[in-house]
Amino acid sequence: MSRIAASTKKTYPWTTYLIINIFWLGLMTVNQSNGLIVPLLVQRFVGPGRQATAFGRIRLYSLMVALLVQAVAGMLSDRSTSRWGRRRPYILVGTLLNVACLVGIGLAPSYGLLFVAVLCSQAAGNIAHGAQQGLIPDLIPESRRGRFSGVKAVLEIPLPIIVVSFGIGPLVSRGDIWGGLLVAIGVLVTTMLITMLVREERVVEPPPFNWPALGRLLAMTGSFMAIILSGGAAVEWIGRLLEGVTSTTLLLIAMGLTGLLMMVLAVVLGVWVCVRISLGEKRTGSFTWWVINRLAFLVGANSFSTFAVYFFQARLGLEGEAAAGPTARLLMVVGILILICALLSGWLADRIGRKRLVGASGLLAALGTLILVLAPSLVMIYVGGAIIGGATGIFFTSNWALGTDIVPKAKSGQFLGISNLAGAGAGAIGGYIGGPLADYFTVRVPQGAGIGYLLVFGIYGVLFLISTLTLFFVHESHHHTHYS
């Protein structure tokens, strides 16, 4: 397999598409595996009455660590003068640290130590992640980024889901959590080694490190976390105010509206405040609304998998690891549809425009959510999940291609690192605000199996619609002078 050099040619061999993007498979296999394994470990330590809240707490703090570390790694790798290039040293170091952290997750004897191990894993993984996402802007011209983003989307979402479904899910469903962790570690290390074949041009005279930008980044992360914490606190406070209410319908309406409002505020206010803090007074209107669009969509898409294990346990009456089987099968269906649609939308994104595809994906995902929430059978649950999967495949390819057009190439690591407000913030918002909602109905309405999760999933569906509406404020452009 030949090494890759940066090139302005308009055609690339298939190996170029693969090697530049292969590490996404390793990173996301680990993330998907943790999404299956960590909820079960949390359940062992805290029980079903507080499991969603406890897992949501892990999601919030670990993803805020991810947000901070990924952006810092992007900034540092932009300025790296290593003879290996800007990105690969960070990918190597982050991977090796993450292997140690994954072993720590498997060995954790309590919720507190599991919490620490997951935080460390997120930090290590995002050292590599922050560097990896700079490879396409570094090495690929704009005219081909749609295709490369399509391959990225395939390796980032559907293939890791399929690996987890066929290779890790069956192991976990039999109680072999260590087996699942070892498979994930193997995929991570293998893909990292292949990525080392990328050849980057050494940066001889990098710009000086921007310490004020680092200060703004710290303020951004703290502000975003404070907004999400406030949203979760508001949900719990309203729940306490409604302790005397006995009508399930009234509880659903009041808590549902509260949860939706807090998530929308966290998405819009969180992104606006954080971009403002991080980038200062620069005119970044389209970039800000692109991140809002991405975050609103991913709150729904990411959080479905976050609570999938608990959803199947409550809805089907399953216990413990037994829910890993149907969860893995649902993820497999979702992964296949993401795979198909990501490939098609990568080709279409370069021809009919990114925004049209992004908007269609939000509407389609909302339809899939409606079917899933109203599903009378397991088959219909899979149908709803498949529609959401197809929409997610379209979204990941077209939205990322849109983003790479908007950000300035010279600062792609910094800008795309900030865009992790969507990647990290989605799980944090969906988990920390949605978790208490689900647990609230588990305690208050125990006879309504899964009612809390249905409510939370319905809120995610509304956020899909909101993501489409935000596109009115995003303007496609191939010119980046307004970021200078």
- The per-residue DSSP string of 365-404 comes to HHHHHHHHHH-SSHHHHHHHHHHHHHHHHHHHHHHHHHHH
pLDDT at 154 > cutoff 60: yes
**For residue 6, is it within any domain?**
no
**For residue 314, is it within any domain?**
yes
- Mean pLDDT calculated for residue range 480-484: 39
Most confident of 200-209, 214-223, 339-348: 214-223
**For residue 9, is it within any domain?**
no
| Bridge partners (DSSP) listed for residue 198 | 4
**Residues whose CB falls within 8 Å of the CB of residue 375, separated by 6 or more in sequence, listed in order:** 381, 383, 384
Confidence (pLDDT) at 363: 95
> Which tokens belong to 312?
């199947």
- Please give the C-alpha separations between residue 379 and each of 360, 375, 422, in angstroms, as whole numbers: 25, 8, 31
Domain that holds residue 246: 14-483
Confidence (pLDDT) at 188: 97
Q: What is the pLDDT of residues 27-62, one digit of tens each?
A: 999 998 998 899 999 999 998 778 899 999 999 999
**Number of neighbouring beta carbons within 10 Å of residue 360:** 16
Q: Residue 109 — pLDDT band, cuts 50, 70, 90?
A: very high
Q: What is the pLDDT of residues 250-280, one digit of tens each?
A: 999 999 999 999 999 999 998 888 877 877 6
Alpha helices in 108-203 (DSSP H): 111-132, 135-139, 145-156, 158-163, 169-173, 177-195
pLDDT at 108 > cutoff 90: yes
Report the C-alpha gap between 347 and 78 in whole angstroms.
29
**For residue 3, is it within any domain?**
no
**Number of neighbouring beta carbons within 10 Å of residue 45:** 17
Confidence (pLDDT) at 181: 96
**For residue 429, is it within any domain?**
yes
Residue 32 and residue 172 in contact, taking contact as beta carbons nearer than 8 Å: no
- Number of independent structural domains in the chain: 1
Phi-psi region of 320 (alpha: psi -120 to 50; beta: other; left: phi over 0): left
Q: Which helix (H) or strand (E) holds 307?
A: none
Report the C-alpha gap between 86 and 296 in whole angstroms.
31
**For residue 383, is it within any domain?**
yes
Any idea what the CATH number is for the domain that residue 179 is in? 1.20.1250.20
Report the C-alpha gap between 265 and 262 in whole angstroms.
5
Report the C-alpha gap between 107 and 218 in whole angstroms.
31
Confidence (pLDDT) at 10: 54
**For residue 7, is it within any domain?**
no
Confidence (pLDDT) at 334: 81
List own/partner pairs for 231-237 with CB under 8 A and 24 or more apart. 231/262, 231/263, 231/265, 231/266, 231/429, 231/432, 231/433, 232/56, 232/60, 232/262, 232/432, 232/433, 232/435, 232/436, 234/258, 234/262, 235/259, 235/262, 235/433, 235/436, 235/437, 235/440, 236/436
Q: Residue 102 — pLDDT band, cuts 50, 70, 90?
A: very high
Q: What is the pLDDT of residues 123-134, one digit of tens each?
A: 999 999 988 888
**For residue 2, is it within any domain?**
no
Least confident range from 111-115, 203-207, 315-319, 341-345: namely 203-207
pLDDT at 143 > cutoff 90: no
Residue 156 and residue 396 in contact, taking contact as beta carbons nearer than 8 Å: yes
Confidence (pLDDT) at 193: 95
- Please give the C-alpha separations between residue 91 and each of 128, 133, 191, in angstroms, as whole numbers: 4, 10, 10
Residue 72 and residue 6 in contact, taking contact as beta carbons nearer than 8 Å: no
Q: Which of 58, 463, 89 is nearest to 299 (CA)?
A: 463
Tally DSSP H helices, then E strands, for the chain.
20, 0
**Residues whose CB falls within 8 Å of the CB of residue 241, separated by 6 or more in sequence, listed in order:** none
What rounded mean pLDDT belongs to the chain? 84
Most distant CA atoms of the chain, gap in Å:
69
- Mean pLDDT calculated for residue range 305-315: 81
Q: What is the pLDDT of residues 157-191, one digit of tens each?
A: 778 888 888 889 889 888 899 999 999 999 999 99
Confidence (pLDDT) at 228: 94
- Please give the C-alpha separations between residue 98 and each of 386, 407, 408, in angstroms, as whole numbers: 31, 29, 30
